[in-house]
Amino acid sequence: MSVKNEVLDSVTIRFAGDSGDGMQLTGTQFTDTAAIFGNDLSTFPDFPAEIRAPQGTLAGVSGYQIHFGSVEINTPGDQCDVLVVMNAAALKANLRELKKGGIIIANTDGFDPKNLRLANIAEGANPLEDGSLSSYQLFTIDVTKMTRASLAGESGLGVKEIDRSKNMFVLGFIYWMFNRNLDHSIKFLTDKFKKKPDILEANLKLLKAGYNFGDTSETFTSRYTVAPAKMAPGTYRNIMGNQATAIGLIAASQKCGLPIFYGSYPITPASDILHELSKYKNFGVRTYQAEDEIAAMCSIIGASFGGQLGVTASSGPGIALKTEAMGLGFMLELPMVVIDVQRGGPSTGLPTKTEQSDLLQAYYGRNGEAPLPVVASQSPADCFEMVFEACRIAIEHMTPVFFLSDGFIANGAEPWMFPKSSDLPEIKVNFIKELNGDGKYLPYKRDEKLSRPWAIPGTKDLEHRIGGIEKQHETGNISYDPENHEFMVKLREAKVEKIADSIPLQKIDTGNDKGKMLVLGWGSTYGAIRSAVTQARVEGYDVSHAQVRYLRPFPKNLGEILHNFDIVLMPEMNNGQLSKIIRDKYFVPAIPFNKIKGLPFMSVEIYDKIMELMKDTKKTEFASNGSAKK
C-alpha cells in the first residue's frame, strides 16, 4: 500500500501520559530533533503538581506540547493537530486541546478496565470503541505489547524496566510519521546510558522498532513533511528559559569581570537555574544551596559586599521569604540580581503551573519606601538578554534588580541564535580605590547616576559602616534626623528612576506608532499577542502591539506611545497587575484582559477580545505582512 506524503507549514503535537511514561523526555527529544532540522518552534511542558500521583489518574497526567513549522512560530499552538495518549486519563484530560478532525494515537493497553475506572470514565464505556471519537482520526497501537515483544527474551530486563522504555517506541513512530531521522536521539541515548549497555540496547531497539512499525504497518496512509524555517543566518541551539537565564548570567559575569555567587534554595520552577549553573565552575561560578530562602538571600548580600556578582532565584513563596533581606540589600545599595520564576499562587498555589502574579510583589513587596528596578523576559531565548540587562543595571547603578520570568518561559523552548561576545555591551564595574572626601571615605557620595561607590572590604583607608538603619547623606553614619530620612528616601527613589536614562526607548513590535488600538503586554504573553495582532492586521484592523520588558522604571517614551492610541488592551496572566500600574502612572483607561488558570494565553483568546473591542471599527486595507498599504 502506498503512503501519501503531505507537506505542512506547521504542526502542533501533544504527548500525554502518566508522570512515569516519559512524555517530557519524548517531547524534549522530538523538540531537539526539530531544532536541529531547522524548524522554528515553541514548546509547552505541562507538569502535574503531584510528585507522583496514583498511576492512571487524571491528577497524574503529564503533557508536552510542541508547535513547529517552516514559518514563524510564536506560541506552542492553541490546539494540537496530533494527540498522543498513553492511557485513558491522558485522553480525557487533553481531548479538549485537540482540533476537530485531528489525529489521536492511543496506546490500547492504557484503556483496560482498570485504567478506564481510574480515569473516571463511565462503567462499560471505552472511548476507543464506543464511537465518541468519531470526529477525530483515531489510530490505536498496543504500545505496551509491542514493546515487550520487541525485547522478549533478549534484553535481560524485567517487565517494569521494559515497560518504562515504551516511550522510545512512541518516539520512533512519531519520527517516522514526520520524516525525521533518529540520529540525535541515538546519540542522546548512547551518551546517557553508555555505562548501562543493557538499557542502552533496549532503548535503541525500541526507538528503531517504533520507526519500523510506521514503515511496515498498513494502518497509516500518510506521512508529513515540515520544511526548515527561513531564519537569519547564524548558529542556533534549542534553549529553555532557565538554561538561557543561566547562560546570560555567565555572559554578564565574563563581561564585567566579576565571579558569580549564586545562592538559592530549591523551588519549582526555578531550581533548574541552580542545576545549570553548577555545571560551569570553569567560568568562576560558585553555587550554594542554602538551608532556606532567607539564608540564600543573605548569602548573596555577603557576596556582593565582598565584590562579587550576587544572584539568587526563587518563585513567589520564596520571594516573600526573601523580602526583609531584599530591603537590607536595597538600603546597602549593593549590586545583586533577584530572579523570580513566577508560578500560580498565592501561598503554595499551583507549583507547576504558570502565572504572572508577582509583579506587584516585585514592585511594592518590601516594608518602607524601597523601589527596585524590575525587568522581564518575553520568551525563553529572551531570558539571556534580559538577565544580562538585570546584571548590567545592578552593577552600573549599585542596586538590587528584579528579573521576572515564569513557569511557561522557564520550561518552554525555542531556537536561540548564539550572540557574539563582541556584540554584547560592556558592563562597567567601578571599584573605588582611593579616598573621595576631604581626607576621608564617603561611602554614600553619589556620582552622576546617583550611585554610591563600591569599596571592597580590606581596601586601604576605605573602612566604612553599612547596615539597615537609615544613613546620613554621604557619610553613611547612622542618622535619625527626620529631614535626612526624607531626603534619603527621595534620593534612593530618584536613583532608580534615573535608570531610565540608560535603557532603550519602547518600540512597537507589530503595527503602527499610533492608531485605534494598542495591545500592551509583558512577559510570556508576547507570542500569543503577536500572533493575534498579526492576524487582526491581516484582516484589516488597525491594531498594534508593544511588549514592555523594562517594568521599573518604564522606558521614557512609553507614556507618549500609550496616548497615541484610542484603546489600550492589556492581556495578563493575573488579575490586572500591570494595568493598575499603567493606569496609575499614565492616566490611561487601559482595559485589562485577565486569565488566571495556570495556563498561558491562546492567541485566539486575545484575537477574540480584539474583535470584541473593534467590532464597530472600520477596516483598513493592509498588506499580507500586516503593514498598512500606502
* pLDDT tens profile 376-423: 999 999 999 999 999 999 999 999 999 999 999 999 999 999 899 999
> What average pLDDT score do residues 134-138 get?
96
HSE, side-chain direction, 13 A CA sphere, residue 159: 2
Average pLDDT over residues 68-86: 97
Closest CA to 376 of 524, 530, 598: 524
Mean pLDDT of 607-614: 96
Q: Give the rounded percent of residues in the chain with a pLDDT score beyond 70.
A: 98
3-state secondary structure of 521: strand
Enumerate the CATH 3.40.50.970 domain ranges in the chain, comma separated. Answer: 237-423
How large is the average pLDDT for residues 344-355?
96
pLDDT at 482 over 80: yes
Backbone angles phi, psi at 156, to 5 degrees: 75, 5
Residues 260, 279: Cα–Cα separation, whole Å: 13
Rounded CA gap, 462 and 281, in Å?
31
Residues whose CB is less than 8 angstroms from the CB of residue 177 and which lie 6 or more positions away in sequence, other chains included:
82, 214, 220, 223, 224
- Across the range 324-349, mean pLDDT stands at 97
CATH 3.40.50.920 residue ranges of the chain are 515-614
Q: Where in the chain is the domain with CATH 3.40.920.10?
A: 4-225
Phi and psi torsions of 96, nearest 5°: -65, -15
Q: Enumerate residues 6+ apart whose C-beta is below 8 A from 44.
A: 64, 65, 66, 76, 408, 412, 600
Q: Are 406 and 319 in contact (CB under 8 A)?
A: no
pLDDT score recorded for residue 265 = 97
Average pLDDT over residues 290-295: 98
Grid coordinates representing 161 are 524496566
Angle in degrees, 0-180, between the axes of helices 197-216 and 183-192, rounded to the nearest 10? 160
Mean pLDDT on 220-225: 92
Per CATH, domain 237-423 is 1.10.10.10: no
In the predicted model, what is the mean pLDDT of residues 176-182?
A: 96
Residue 624 banded pLDDT, cuts 50, 70, 90: very low
Residue 74 and residue 481: Cα distance in Å, rounded? Answer: 54
- DSSP 8-state secondary structure symbol assigned to residue 622: B
Number of Cβ within a 10 Å radius of residue 620: 16
| CB 199 within 8 Å of CB 8 | no
pLDDT 10s digits, 184-220:
999 999 999 999 999 999 999 999 999 999 999 878 8
DSSP-derived 3-state class of residue 289: strand
The domain 4-225: what is its CATH number?
3.40.920.10
pLDDT of amino acid 236: 93
Fold of 515-614: Rossmann fold (3.40.50)
Question: pLDDT value at position 562?
Answer: 98
Average pLDDT of the chain to the nearest whole number? 95
Amino acid at 610: I
> Which residues on adjacent β-strands are paired with residue 592?
570
pLDDT tens digits, residue range 436-458?
Answer: 989 999 999 999 999 999 999 99
Q: Which residue spans within 51-176 are E strands per DSSP?
A: 61-69, 80-85, 98-107, 137-141
Measured CA distances, 182 to 173, 212, 225, 342 (Å):
10, 11, 15, 36
Residue 620: band (very low, low, confident or very high) from pLDDT cuts 50, 70, 90: low
